[in-house]
Structure 1
Amino acid sequence: MTEKLADRRRADLEKLPRVQRERLSHIDFKLYFLGELRRADVVERFETGPAGATRDIAQYREIAPENLELDPATKAYHPTAEFTPLFEHQPQRVLTALSQGFGEGIGDQLQPMVRCEFPHALSLPKMSVLAPITRAINRGKAVRLCYTSINSGISEREIVPLALVDNGIRWHVRAFDRKHREFRDFVVTRMKDPTVLEDSSVLQEETVERDDQWSRLIELELVPHPEHPRPEVVQMDYDMPDGLLKIKVRAANAGYMLRRWNVDCSPDHSLRGPQYALWLADPLALYGADSAPLAPGYINPRGEGNQRVVQAL
């Protein structure tokens, strides 16, 4: 497809109401990733009548006539060999839709679109705990709760939740801790009986704008581990044709991310094993990040005693 034609199609789509673009995007998704589309797919997904679904399919065909063809025997549309997606489908959203459903159903009714298997989540927060926390984040409020930490056991805390963080293993909350007067990470599953403090004012020093570790973005340069037997495979796995993957991550989360992906952060790439496919080319990029001690092999250039210990472990 020529760039001129692509621009014209984008312009045609922009003229349509947002709700119709969403329906056309669903048609595009079904054709692209499932290889078939029926009028009932649009009716069931958006609860529109058959006539409305027919109009949506006709609109899609008007914009991209070469993208689909009707099989008279099955009354299903299929993508043609010339199919080019009309919409940019984000990988994470696509994989979520394929594995957990695309908003079709409520609660336990959600079903994967194709056979799919993924790791069981062994640590999930209780909804009765999560809901007050997310309300506080959304409304800029403080929360009183009981919290159990590895170092000090159970205690009552007042925190100002700022953001939810998924580190790949469990969820934690980035928050201002009024007990220690600093920003910390709190594991959601270790919280009990959170109560939103409606009448407690949040001070400027407790807001996300004052959290330097959250605001600071670090650029990390990852390369295939020098000891990996097949660096070309690593380049394929991480889409790094030039042998370099640059990512930006918050200082508060860098250590979690590097630990999740088993990135060797030792200065001399000394960690060994098939799990270490990547090496952090410049470990000094982590200097000053409170989460750095979580990174595999990281050595504080000023000595271990000068590095703050991450609390949410």
Structure 2
Amino acid sequence: MSSDRLPEMTQAQRDRLAFVELRLRFVGEIRRQDLVTRFGIQAAAATRDIAQYKELAPGNMEYDTKGKVYVRAAWFRPLFDFPAERILTWLSQGYGDGEPIRWKGVVAQEGTSLPGKIDLDLLSVLTRAIHQGAAVEVAYRALSSGLTTREIVPFALADSGLRWHVRAFDRRSGEFRDFVLGRLDAARILPGPVADHEKPDQDIQWNRITELELVPHPANVQHPDTIEAEYGMDGGVLKVRTRAAMAGYLLRRWNVDCTEDHSLKGGEHHLWLRNRQALYGVTNLVLAPGYSESSK
């Protein structure tokens, strides 16, 4: 049964049922208290919601008597049709849980993003593994090696501004790396515990926070006050704190000139990185415009 064939109910009821499904599909479990906390309803109402969802989708959940929690069943088939963008927003920002409805915008708007393929079933394997602290076997398409099978230990999703990645320990290389979600071909959760060195607290690049000082480009910007106003700079500088693992993506997305002498030419370079020393030890600087290891 798809969401357009659900029985008549209020939008609030549909939102709560959609939330039940989101938790089951992407976290792997749902508790009555999750509904109580999210929607501010009474426990009895939450019990009715779970019972109603189970009636509509009898093969989607089972009750774990030991853990006292409803868990995703092996024969799970979603009722609701969520676009990938909505799912990723919910997973990363935790709002907008309800069923997606395509409202007409109040003003005209268009986007310029390229279409990307994200398989929600594969995504749900990753998110459930993150919740469980488990390893995953994936079939992954890399630019350097093509389609390979590898084992990873995922722990976070990351948005580069252009596409989504999963941050994970890669058992083949023995390193923490980013894997593009659209390049996954298959995924399954692996049994057994993960080693201490595979856990997120061992990811130095992820846990290190660096502060970047961005200023109007000294050579390419004729009126620096324009850039200062556009970015809400304070005293002519915009200070941005980011994880070291994300620094290269940020600098590339905003075309920040990372040369020591602000020498990159072109109208796209409105910003210059004033404190290059902040990038010392950051590993993904191949993405940073103009950054050179020999000139750091």
The bucket for the TM-score relative to the shorter chain is 0.5 to 0.7
Q: Which residue of 1 aligns with 2:136?
A: 143
Q: Give the Cα separation in 2 of the matches to 1:120 and 1:225.
A: 25
Secondary structure at the aligned position of 1:253 is classed as helix
**In the alignment, structure 1 residue 205 sits paired with structure 2 residue 207:** no
CA displacement 1:152-182 (0-9 Å, x = unmatched): 1111010000110111111011100011111
For 1:263, what is the secondary structure of its paired residue?
Answer: coil
Q: Deviation string for 1:263-293 (max 9, x for gaps)?
A: 1111111111221111000222112111111
Q: Amino acid of the residue matched to residue 169 of structure 1?
A: L
* Contact in 1 for aligned 2:211/2:239 (Cα 8 Å): yes
What is the alpha-carbon distance in structure 2 between the residues aligned to residue 148 and residue 104 of structure 1? 31
CA distance in 2, matches of 1:209, 1:137: 14
Cα contact 2:140–2:186 (8 A) shared by 1: no
Which residue does 2:238 correspond to in 1?
245
Displacement of 1:196:
1.1
Q: Distance in 2 between matches of 1:186 and 1:104?
A: 26
Shift of 1:214: 0.5
1:133 — aligned with what?
Answer: 126
The residue type paired with residue 239 of structure 1 is G
Q: Provide structure 1 residue ranges, at least 5 long, that are not aligned to the other structure.
A: 1-45, 49-95, 97-101, 304-313
**C-alpha deviation, 1:116, in angstroms:** 4.0
- In structure 2, runs of 5+ residues without a counterpart are 1-38, 42-88, 90-94
Residues 130-160 of structure 1: per-residue CA shift (max 9 Å, x gap): 1111111122111001011111111101000
Aligned to 1:165: 158
- Pick from 254, 257, 278: which aligns with 2:250? 257
Instruction: Report the residue type matching 1:212 in the other structure.
Output: I
Counterparts in 2 of 1:190-229, with a 5 A limit?
190-197=183-190, 199-227=191-219, 228-229=221-222
- What does the per-residue CA deviation read over 1:98-142, in whole Å, with 9 as the maximum and x for residues that have no partner? xxxx959623x2325522424254224121121111111122111
Match of 1:177 among 156, 170, 184: 170
The number of equivalent residue pairs is: 204
Percent of aligned pairs sharing the same letter: 46
Ranked by relative contact order (alpha carbons within 8 Å, sequence separation 6 or more), the top structure is 2
| 1:183, distance to aligned residue in structure 2 (A) | 0.6
**Distance in 1 of aligned mates of 2:119 and 2:261:** 42
Structure 1 residues 162-210: Cα deviation after superposition (integer angstroms, max 9, x where no partner): 110111111011100011111111111111111011x221111000000
SS at match of 1:256: helix
Please list, as runs of the form range in 1=range in 2, the aligned pairs for 1:1-313 lying within 5 A after superposition: 103=96, 106-107=99-100, 109-121=101-113, 122-197=115-190, 199-227=191-219, 228-301=221-294
Contact conserved, 1:267 with 1:299, CA < 8 A, in 2? no
Matched to 1:255, the amino acid is: G
Return the alpha-carbon distance in structure 1 between the equivalents of residues 157 and 237 of structure 2. 29
Name the residue aligned to 2:58: none
Separation in 2, partners of 1:250, 1:219:
9
SS at match of 1:138: helix
Q: Quick one: distance in 1 between partners of 2:107 and 2:177? A: 40
Deviations 1:197-252 (A, max 9, x none): 1x221111000000001011111111110021121110011001410111111111
Moved over 2 A (4+): 102-107
Does structure 2 conserve the Cα–Cα contact (< 8 Å) formed by 1:104 and 1:110? Answer: no
User: Matched residue of 2:245: which SS?
Assistant: coil
Q: TM-score under structure 2 normalisation?
A: 0.64
Q: Secondary structure of the equivalent of 2:222? A: coil
Cα-Cα RMSD: 2.3
CA contact 1:172–1:185 (8 Å) conserved in 2: yes
Measured after TM superposition, the shift of residue 299 of structure 1 is: 1.1
Q: Secondary structure at the match of 1:259?
A: helix
- In 1, distance between residues paired with 2:97 and 2:247? 35
